[in-house]
Amino acid sequence: MKKFATWLLITVLVVGAGYLIWRFREARTAFREAVRNTVTASVERRDLDVIVTGKGTVQTKAKRAVRPGVAGTVSQVLVREGDVVSAGAPLIVLDNDSIRYQADQARLDLALAEQTLTNMTGPAGVLAKAELALRQAELDLSSARERLDGLTIESPITGDLWAVHVKKGDSVMAGQPIATVADATSFSVDARVRQADLRKLQIGHRVNIKPGGDIKTVYGKIEEIGSEGIPGSRGIEFPVKVSIDDPGKDIRSGMSVQVDCHLRNGALVSMTGTIVPKDRRDIEATVAGTVEEVLVAEGSLVEAGRLLVTLENSSVTVAYDQALTAYESAKQALATCENDIEVQRLRVEQARVNAEDRANAVAKLRVNSPIDGKVVSLSLEPGDEVTANETVAEVVSVLPLTVVIPVDELDVTNVTIGQTAKIEVDAVPGRVFEGTVTKIAHEGRVQQGITNFDVTIEMEAEDVRLGMSATATISVSSKKGVLSVPIEAVIWEQDQAYVNKVEDGRVVQSRVKVGVQNDLYAEIASGLDEGDEVVVSGLSNYGGDLGGFRMFAPRGGSGAQIRPR
């Protein structure tokens, strides 16, 4: 029994040792295979260009469908497909007799409307005649109103009504005296001086005025000296006007007075005169008529503007009514004329707009290119009928051409308008064309779960045709002489970057800071030195079961040491 147990133990140990030896050989074989497949790279300085690449098709910047805008029959085709044309260059010519006739008729209508307006507003036109008639009516009305106002006679000043020369029922003629009004508060003296004393007097000399009797002397001065003599009782006498400073209450109009002027040499010049009102008005009739009423009695004090006498003359009243009617008619005639002219001006403007529209329609019979470019579609022949909105040709701009590429949402933020791009066209191998980013879409397009933004690149390329496939590479940024490693060597865990660094024959995970990167290389801002070796692929990715053994790649990578953990 003890012997059996011993052999059983020996058998178990032998089998276990054989299994361990088999596992060790399998692990070493797998590790050596991983070592043989391991790729490493040195940390080197190189220039890094960050680019965005995309594929698209060559397109035109502008493509315009040409429509004539009017219907007609093709009479001439002036270009062929493929011809390069300038903006405004004629492509085809249409015939349409109806459009041409309407244009001729519209021009005639405009000329007639303008001539009618000229006739209405010219020097001998209806407007001038209406304005002249209104001015004449205004003059006639003013004259009739003056004659009508002459039937009511008013006092021109404030004063005493000295005399009323008519009574109710009297017939008066124009110019006949009606009444006399004088200002009884202000007086002067009408005196006469002998010719012998004339040269002794001067305007402004002070004088004494003696009414006679027990009335006190008043004073004044010489205001006027007449230049024409009048025969009198004392020979030739000249009129002298004397003003009175303060007439007092005793002075009355019509009093005879003596006027004495004491000269500086002691001489005395005496004159005789009469007290007169300073302002006296003899009121006369301005029109003939019959006295209808006398409203104020003689001797009354009247105010300026007080109605004194009214006259009656039916012919004057009728004439005024007729003049007023004529004036209103002339004013209405002018307003009607001005309105007619305004209507005619509108007709002229309408005729002008219609003529311009018809002329534009005629111009459209010559169908022109809307842009500089190349004719890419034109299939008309003379005699073909076309409609106004029919597309008769297509013109595309030749240069610049555009390539629109989709850019991933993660890269589009690095693209800006004005960046340069290199474009390779599949149909033109070996040539690289220069381009410039001119437009970046504001809204992305989602396809298969990926959001892309269209980026438009303009290029100058005469050998390239529309629709050709092209690859555009946009240079986003560039750095010179920076430490970098292949992009495959960088391992990301969340926001932290690592590399597997070969150090003393061992693979050690090292934390690094990554700068700019492109599809091939990543800048190492910190964490590695120039010349360091990093694993790109191989051991760093080996995930087989090593059977409880740790493996270390020896310096030089020619073998492996396997140690149990």
CATH label of the domain that carries residue 527: 2.40.30.170
Q: What H or E segment, with its residue span, contains residue 316? A: helix 314-363
Residue 23's pLDDT is 66
Sheet containing 385-386: order of strands: 366-368, 90-95, 72-77, 385-386
Same domain, 379 and 421: no
Lookup: tokens for 368 = 């022109």
Residue 2's pLDDT is 61
Q: Is 492 exposed, middle or buried (0-12, 13-18, 19+ CB in 10 A)?
A: exposed
| Higher-scoring residue by pLDDT: 543, 115 | 115
- Cβ neighbours for 555, distance < 8 A, ≥ 6 positions apart: 504, 505
Same domain, 418 and 486: yes
Residue 413 is assigned to a structural domain of this protein: yes
**Residues 297-345 pLDDT 10s:** 998 999 999 999 999 999 999 999 999 999 999 999 999 999 999 999 9
Residue 29's pLDDT is 59
Percentage helix, strand, coil for the chain under 3-state DSSP, each rounded to 5: 25, 40, 30
Query: Does 243 score more than 60 pLDDT?
Result: yes
Query: E-strand spans in 400-505?
Result: 401-408, 420-425, 432-440, 445-447, 450-459, 469-486, 491-493, 496-503
Residue 71 is assigned to a structural domain of this protein: yes
In terms of residue numbers, what domain contains 92? 63-96+365-396
Same domain, 68 and 53: no
Residue 562's pLDDT is 26
| Upper half-sphere CA count for residue 107 (Cβ side, 13 Å) | 9
pTM for this entry: 0.52
- Which residue from 22, 13, 28, 42 is spatially nearest to 485, judged by alpha carbons? 42
Residue 541's pLDDT is 44
pLDDT-wise least confident of 48-62, 289-303, 354-368: 48-62
| Higher-scoring residue by pLDDT: 565, 235 | 235
CA 498/CA 485 separation, integer angstroms: 12
**Residues 227-241 pLDDT 10s:** 898 887 778 999 999
Same domain, 75 and 175: no
pLDDT-wise least confident of 40-54, 351-365, 374-388: 40-54
Calculate mean pLDDT across residues 205-225: 91
In the chain, the amino acid numbered 239 is P
Residue ending a domain, choose from 249, 282, 312: 312
Residue 340's pLDDT is 95
Same domain, 239 and 382: no
Q: Is 2 helix (H, G, I), strand (E, B) or coil?
A: helix
Share of the chain above pLDDT 90, in %: 57
Same domain, 461 and 485: yes
Cβ atoms of 348 and 110 closer than 8 Å: yes
Q: Is 255 helix (H, G, I), strand (E, B) or coil?
A: coil
Same domain, 257 and 276: yes
Residue 27's pLDDT is 54
Query: Does 540 score more than 60 pLDDT?
Result: no
Residue 356 is assigned to a structural domain of this protein: no
